[in-house]
Amino acid sequence: MTDRGEGTVESAPATANPRWRGEIVGRSEVVTFALVMVVVTTSFLGRLSFELWGFTVRWEQVAPVILVGWLLVDPRRRHDFVHTLRHPAVVALAAFIVWNVFASFLFSPSLTKSISILAWFAIDLLLLAGLMSLGERAVWAERIGIRFVVPWAAAGFAMYLVANVSGGNVAWGTDLDSLYQVYVARLTAGEANIYASILVLWTLLLVAGKGYKRRWMIVAAVTVPLGLVGSQTRTAVFCMILGLAVYVGYEFARRRRHTRWRGEFWFGPAAIIVGVLVAYGASSNLPEFGVAETAPAVQDTTVPQTQDKLGDVNLQGGTIGFRVTVAKVAAEDMNGVNLWLGNGTNTFGVRHEQPGSPGVPGHLIMLPVQILYDVGIVGLSLILVFGAVVLYHVPWRRRPIAAAVAVSFLTAATLTSMFWFSAIWIVFAALLRPVTDDERVESPQLYS
């Protein structure tokens, strides 16, 4: 499923151009579109789950299985799905998962713990292959996802304000960050970092798709920065600006060679960057909410006594220093054969308690450290190969936003483990989908 910018596109067979409305006809199309909508919607509901046979099952894990089941049942989709299983990106991800299985059987002290994540990886693989098998119709997922950006951001900031102003009496959709004595927005995501990271990635796709539409961008430039303030996630603020800078630089350099400069191109990125900088600056002047008087007392005397989490970049304390401490604990187990082969998937919490929290299983919050701990240098190399394969097969027109997503994702993943969540794989599938006729009409010079 590649496009080298020379008019050659390899993809699953497609009929009419998959516009947003008007061409979703027939039972097969309607059911597929509905299931794609469910998949995208549940990807924002990462915190919602139920218990099944002793495992915690998330609704975002159920939806992809149903989608793939339909693709296998529907004779019009079955061949495309099976054919997509041979795509290099799918094969590379499958190799990484197989290595996780191998390392877990060798070294995991709790196969139950390992299986819970291995099953999640398998679902992610099915999700990626399922959406890719739709060919041009994978654009449905992208168009649905970018429509969540504004309400997702606005709701996060609203919940952040309500929780802190009420002193935690109304705290739905938030978590108390006891290090800073402030409630942070997560909405229905697993945690604030994941909420903010998903917001950043979908905003990047929004800018790439609708950056020239000023009404869209003005609204997003107000709401998205507020959502980031509500999450109180410093990494997300940095990732947003960094990703947009990469996108603008890449796109500008390419358009200078292939087409004339267009004012509408830079409006979206510029609007978001200005909004983020204004919101970030204003957040340092927010009033104290009085949460410290009503929230549980902080046990660690080394943590910062401030609610200005966004303004704290001290590497010796706070959440950044905490992650450094966790990484040092993990490093104790990464030596000899385990450095190369790993310690087994999802096993850090079996071996270690969370630093400063006796009785609480440890959790490796940083994705690179987690992969290195679980599957060693070999596994880390395999996932890097997967990333390289994805970037290679992204259509030429979409290379700038792919580079922006890659940089933002790698930066955010350094401080949060969001790799398993379905929103990440939906974004990957959106980047890998073939170019639609609409895109060729919007940018004919890029295909001349």
What ranges do the domains of the chain cover?
Answer: 26-146+368-447, 149-313
pLDDT at 305 over 70: no
Three-class DSSP category at 5: coil
**Range with the poorest average pLDDT among 26-35, 86-95, 98-107:** 26-35
What's this model's pTM, rounded to 2 decimal places? 0.88
Q: Tell me what the pLDDT averaged over the chain comes to.
A: 85
Half-sphere exposure of 345 (CA within 13 A, CB side): 24
Specify the pairing of strand 182-185 against strand 174-177: antiparallel
> What's the pLDDT score for residue 13?
40
Q: Name 183's bridge partners.
A: 176
Question: In angstroms, rounded to a whole number, what is the distance separating the alpha carbons of residues 161 and 177?
Answer: 14
Q: Which of the four pLDDT bands, split at 50, 70 and 90, describes residue 447? A: very low
pLDDT at 306 over 70: no
pLDDT tens-digit readout, 370-416: 999 999 999 999 999 999 999 999 998 899 999 999 999 999 888 77
Most confident of 96-105, 404-413, 429-438: 96-105
DSSP state of 52: E
> What's the pLDDT score for residue 265?
74
On the 0-12 / 13-18 / 19+ scale of CB atoms within 10 A, 58 is: buried
Listed in sequence order, the residues at least 6 apart from 267 whose beta carbon sits closer than 8 Å to its beta carbon are 211, 212, 214, 217
> How much is the average pLDDT of 162-184?
91
pLDDT at 273 over 60: yes
pLDDT tens-digit readout, 336-345: 999 999 999 9
Structure tokens at 394: 């992204």
> How much is the average pLDDT of 164-183?
91
**Nearest-5° Cα angle at 385, 371 to 398:** 110
pLDDT tens-digit readout, 108-117: 999 999 999 9
pLDDT at 254 over 60: yes
